[in-house]
Amino acid sequence: MIRVAITGPESTGKSTLAAQLAQHFQAPWVPEYARTYLNQLSRPYEALDLEAIAREQLAFWQEEAAKNPPLLFLDTELLVLKIWSEHAYGTTSAFILEELRRQPVDLYLLMNIDLPWQPDPQREHPHLRQFFYDWYKRELEQLGVPYVEISGSADERLRNAIRAVQQVVSSPTKPLS
């Protein structure tokens, strides 16, 4: 199974691209659980909530992976929770850090900030988009994982993402160029 994670700052089209890729490749995708969790929360979120979100997100991934599809798309992943936690609280739970290190992802698609900001009650940092993009890129490089930056219009993003996924599908052991 090849797992592709869509990651990056808020309001960069992660969920849209995950759904489009799933449709294009006729493959399942696991939506971001944080939205559901936060919508059901009757108080401001806390650090412990991020670990709860991570645990449930992993459970959804495992449920979908148990069906053994050849390709699986992940709308966000544990790097999102690590960065969110470190920015909001200055720390990350040991659980999130450990699971991030073990996260079985074959390709990360790092979404650029070149789309217009879309206001949403769950989004918090329109003024820090470049800061977060740079942070994601540094983290991916430090993790030493394969990633491709996805930029451009919605159509260009989809074409670039399809090309990156096809490269991994056609040669999963060959590094990306």
8 Å CB contact between 4 and 72: yes
Query: Which pTM does this prediction carry?
Result: 0.91
Residue 175 in domain: no
pLDDT in tens, 126-145: 678 999 999 999 999 999 99
pLDDT in tens, 2-54: 999 999 998 899 999 999 999 999 999 999 999 899 989 999 999 999 999 99
Residue 58 in domain: yes
Query: How remote is the C-alpha of 45 from its chain's centroid?
Result: 20
Residue 176 in domain: no
Domain containing residue 36: CATH number:
3.40.50.300
Residue 85 in domain: yes
Residue 20 in domain: yes
Residue 121 in domain: yes
pLDDT in tens, 162-172: 999 999 999 85
Residue 57 in domain: yes
The domain of 166 spans 2-170
Phi and psi for 7 in degrees, rounded to 5? -135, 170
Task: Look at residue 121 in the predicted model and tell me its pLDDT.
Answer: 60
CA atoms of 176 and 71, how far apart (whole Å): 17
- What Å distances lie between residue 14 and 94, 105, 127, 171, CA to CA? 26, 16, 19, 24
Average pLDDT in the chain: 91
Q: How many domains does the chain have?
A: 1
Residue closest to 122 by CA, chosen among 23, 53, 21: 53
